[in-house]
A and B are shown apart, each in its own frame.
With several copies, the nearest count.
Chain A
């Protein structure tokens, strides 16, 4: 499945959007302008981008605490996201949710999630709703290597398979759950091997290769749309930053980081695009400029937006 040019360009845009968005947050967090925690997606852009490029607007995703990339890749609005992370009333959640709870149901985004493994059960529900309503939509559930050990994740894999739900589990294996390396949290090397426990296909892909992710997820989405049930795609990747901003990251070594920074998914993809003639160097630069501008606008929007008023505190508890 080779994506068409439009898709390729969109992927390139998306990856850059995530990269620049996260870098902005890194700076603003360091400057003390962002409340709470942020978990940045830097280095993992290819996973969200590749996976969401395999989806239509009507398809759905559940995300994680490290959700900005997923949300942007699924079409999340830069301004509304930025404003939310800045705690402003104009944000996606009116300032009530923050980085870990951004959602856009209209775009099929069932929310970032502060609970590791929390998205799996919700994803089964979204996928079941599609099936029940014969809606032909697919749900992608993003989850980390750490989350793969949480019982809720495993229950979700099981239900999805027992019920043949149109659900694709995209595992982002960045090697760590906070400070805990994968080898200490589980005995297996490939999380994809867990798929067999639920009789679903399990595939390992290079998570820093956006096309590889796209291809594997597209395949799984096709299966899901055909009523053949769920799949598990493990994307091996790495997070460049600490678990959250402020994490000194003493548990990893510089060599490991350097090695992975060398596998930066964006230049790799750009090189391919340029080589294949899909995008010229100049076009690539123009895209980057445009996105940088959009992000500046989002920052301006966020910073100029008011904070919510305490009188709004009790709104939206009930429907």
Chain B
């Protein structure tokens, strides 16, 4: 299979869906000729023209709302916010409008929009350009939340998100854009809500998302040296959440560690831990450990940022505290 970066995989998914379906269009700040702040939409403007690859003013509320309105009117918008951090000015259009429209209207609206947003720290972009906000989106009934960790998943899940008839938030990690992996040339869809076991193991389950999947895999290699075999489960979607795969893994390993880059307190891992404490407590023989960012904004200076982002040693330490 050809090797592609996460970024190329996303770009290919966009291109192929736009070729397949005329109703698909792209909108966002600098997504046109500029190719998107991180380059995800590069070349699409040239290929599809400015009707279908639309630069917007700096107007996030209207980016999200325009996508929702266009979706409810029969199109399939793929909107981009340049950084997930900017959702604060647009949250209403996402949670009160796009996500609720179908329910409020008694099922009579269909809102097939995808909202792509880069997340995460690692480039020294500081407090307002580095956050991971998936926990907020998980708490919104009516939305789906997709958070791919590999190029293969990125392509297949983005295609599914675009084809899905519900509003979907698609969270990319900026430190993953350059990561390579095998990606088929043809279009393919990965079902939303199916976890993927990225590594099999018998001693502890590590549920990890996005960039932390890679960190968890690195941790698993370190743990292996100490005779601990970790199973790394990547939910890939946080809503719907594949509880089944997680619980099956816990049944096998009897221990759970959860790793994400979002702030730990009231973060995405809280739900996974709570779910396990309710539905799989009998299979757990040790406390559930979470590894997430500490309770502070993302700091700027490199040594602070490095300390902020959970690393493989943090995951190893969490596992070792229970194994």
Contact = CB atoms under 8 A, between A and B. Distances in A.
A114 B128 contact: yes
Interface in B70-125: 70-75, 77, 85-86, 88-89, 92-93, 96-97, 101-112, 123-125
Given A121-B93, A146-B57, A156 B62 contact: yes
Interface in A175-191: 177-180, 184-186
Contact of A97 (B67, B75, B104, B141): B104
Contacts of A205: none
User: Which of under 10, 10 to 19, 20 to 34, or 35 or more describes the interface residues of A?
Assistant: 35 or more
Contact of A149 (B58, B68, B73, B306): B58
A116 B58 contact: yes
A121 B97 contact: yes
Contact of A155 (B51, B61, B67): B61
23 contacts: A36-B124, A95-B106, A97-B127, A100-B128, A105-B108, A111-B105, A121-B97, A122-B68, A124-B69, A125-B65, A126-B72, A146-B57, A150-B58, A151-B59, A152-B61, A152-B93, A158-B62, A177-B58, A179-B34, A313-B296, A313-B307, A318-B165, A318-B166
A308 interface: yes
B297 interface: yes
Contacts of A312: 304
A129 B73 contact: yes
Given A121-B93, A133-B74, A309-B303, 16 more contacts: A87-B301, A95-B106, A97-B105, A101-B104, A115-B92, A121-B64, A129-B73, A129-B74, A133-B75, A150-B59, A151-B89, A179-B55, A180-B29, A310-B307, A319-B110, A319-B112
B273 to A, nearest CB: 22
B57 A158 contact: yes
Contacts, number: 274
A108 to B, nearest CB: 9
A105 B294 CA distance: 27
Contacts of B137: none
Interface in A60-109: 60, 62, 87-89, 91-98, 100-105
Contacts of A127: 69
Nearest to B65: A121
Contacts of B201: none
A313 B141 contact: no
Which 5 A/B pairs are nearest by Cβ-Cβ distance?
A: A125-B69, A121-B65, A36-B124, A98-B300, A95-B301
Contacts of B141: 317
B6 interface: no
A174 B73 CA distance: 30
B301 A35 contact: yes
Contacts of A87: 124, 300-303
B296 A317 contact: yes
Given A98-B124, A115-B128, A125-B72, A159 B300 contact: no
Contact of B75 (A117, A124, A132, A178): A132
A146 B70 CA distance: 24
A184 B301 contact: no
Contacts of B151: none
B167 to A, nearest CB: 9
Interface in B38-61: 51, 54-61
Contacts of B89: 115, 117, 150-152
Interface in B135-175: 141-142, 144, 164-166
Nearest to A162: B57
A224 to B, nearest CB: 15
Given A97-B300, A308-B301, A318 B97 contact: no
A118 B93 contact: yes
Nearest to A102: B105
Contacts of A116: 58
A204 B57 CA distance: 21
Contact of A96 (B69, B75, B93, B103): B103
A130 B93 contact: no
B69 A129 contact: yes
B25 interface: yes
A147 B29 CA distance: 12
B48 to A, nearest CB: 12
A261 B24 CA distance: 42
A28 interface: no
A36 B302 CA distance: 9
Given A152-B92, A319-B165, A94 B106 contact: yes
A103 B62 contact: no
Contacts of B77: 125
B301 A124 contact: no
Given A310-B304, A313-B304, A114 B126 contact: yes
Nearest to B75: A129
Contacts of A156: 62, 65
Contacts of A96: 103-106, 126-127, 297, 299-301, 304
A37 interface: yes
B128 A36 contact: no
A113 B84 CA distance: 16
A294 B244 CA distance: 53
Contacts of B65: 118, 120-122, 124-125, 152, 156
Interface in A21-70: 35-37, 60, 62
Contacts of A35: 124, 300-302, 305
A315 interface: yes
A126 B110 CA distance: 13
Contact of A307 (B104, B166, B294, B301): B301
A149 B59 contact: yes
A165 B128 CA distance: 28
B33 interface: yes
B308 interface: yes
A178 B34 contact: yes
